Amino acid sequence: MLVPVTQGTQSPGPDGRLSRLRAGRASRAREAEVGGGRVFLPTRTPPPPIRQVSRRLLLALAVLLATTLIVWLDRDGYHDNAGGPLDLLDAAYYATVTLSTTGYGDITPVSDAARLTNIFVITPLRVLFLIILVGTTLEVLTERTRQQWRIGRWRSTVRDHTVVIGYGTKGRSAVGALLGQGIDRGSIVIVDPQARTVEQATMDGLAGVVGDATRTDTLLRAELPRAARVVVAPERDDTAVLITLTARQLNRSATVVAAVREDENAPLLRQSGADVVVTSSSSAGRLLESADLVLAVVRGRRLLNFTDEEAAVLKPTDRLIVIRDARGHA
């Protein structure tokens, strides 16, 4: 066996336990907060609301001042029903009622130059002014379109990424190890049934999928068939078995690292398709700290399981037993 933890005596009847695990799949799916299998990309921190409002007010004021200046420079081309030439106040008044589409008609353009200016300059400024006023609604619509575009672009470009299923203690440990190895955050995808957990992952700069990872459609949203590595780290061992089965069916070549709580479930994880099975909360992350998968430590004449506490701190004379990725070592 590649992993010492799986060399122990197998528990009787693994097929019977697997059947019971499959029978509980539907009840867990109802209990989980699946959130419709939605995909979430890393969030960008929006500016404070007061800053957004202030920026819009400044833009609207700038448009109003620009229109006032344009009208005042061509004041001889306008007629005021009250009589007399236009002054700066009249120009500001005309700009205000024109941009707001009120149009009382007491001040009108009469020269050709003034009318052309209204057609080609003031009318576009009026449209811009109205866009700024209804900017909140437009921003919501634009954000939805932008988010859909980002998700579509992400799906078309993601390759050889790492799918981490479960963002609890074990999942966070694995992500921390990957980041410490220099792997880009954009190549890590979190899958978790809790929407709040995935939201936290996106705040950490990771892509996330809300859904039940034992379901094929959820893993397809995470683009698991094109992943290079899969870390299975849910809270329950029976869930880990079902996820491993589903993941291995979708991707035969990816390296699957599964974490379990009980040693007796390790053989079942191996049977389900896991390449490496670990039993401690931090082992999934520790196995990913190297580009290779570390299985054991040779210390003198002793062979230490990599999950042993003695192997937590390596010594200069230690030797490592690893699995090398043939694709990464040409």
pLDDT value for 1: 32
Total tally of structural domains belonging to the chain: 2
pLDDT value for 20: 53
Strand-pair partners of 48 = none
Same domain for 60 and 20, yes or no, is no
User: How many other CB atoms are there within 10 angstroms of residue 91's CB atom?
Assistant: 21
The beta-carbon contacts of 181-185 under 8 Å, at least 24 apart in sequence, are: 181/288, 181/289, 181/290, 181/291, 185/42
317: in domain: no
Distance CA 72, CA 95 (A): 10
Over residues 38-45, the mean pLDDT reads: 63
| Residue 304, Ramachandran bin (φ over 0: left; ψ between -120 and 50: alpha; else beta) | beta
80 phi, psi to nearest 5 deg:
-105, 120
39: in domain: no
Domain range spanning residue 116? 49-136
Which CATH number is 9's domain given? 3.40.50.720
Which CATH number is 57's domain given? 1.10.287
**End-to-end distance of the chain based on CA atoms, in angstroms?**
25
Tokens coding 65: 């001042």
258 neighbors 244 (Cβ within 8 angstroms)? yes
The yes-or-no verdict on residue 128 having pLDDT over 80 is yes
Same domain for 107 and 189, yes or no, is no
Distance CA 297, CA 116 (A): 83
Over residues 299-305, the mean pLDDT reads: 79
pLDDT value for 157: 87
Using alpha carbons, select from 264, 20, 133, 152 the residue that is nearest to residue 125.
133
State whether residue 300 is helix, strand or coil: coil
Same domain for 176 and 285, yes or no, is yes
Q: Give pLDDT tens digits for 95-107.
A: 999 998 888 888 9
Same domain for 125 and 223, yes or no, is no
Q: Which of 52-61, 171-180, 218-227, 305-314 has the highest mean pLDDT?
A: 218-227
256 neighbors 273 (Cβ within 8 angstroms)? yes
Query: β-pairing, 255-259 with 276-278?
Result: parallel
pTM: 0.54
12: in domain: yes
The yes-or-no verdict on residue 15 having pLDDT over 60 is no
The yes-or-no verdict on residue 154 having pLDDT over 70 is yes
43: in domain: no
Mean pLDDT, the chain, whole residue set: 78
The yes-or-no verdict on residue 149 having pLDDT over 70 is yes
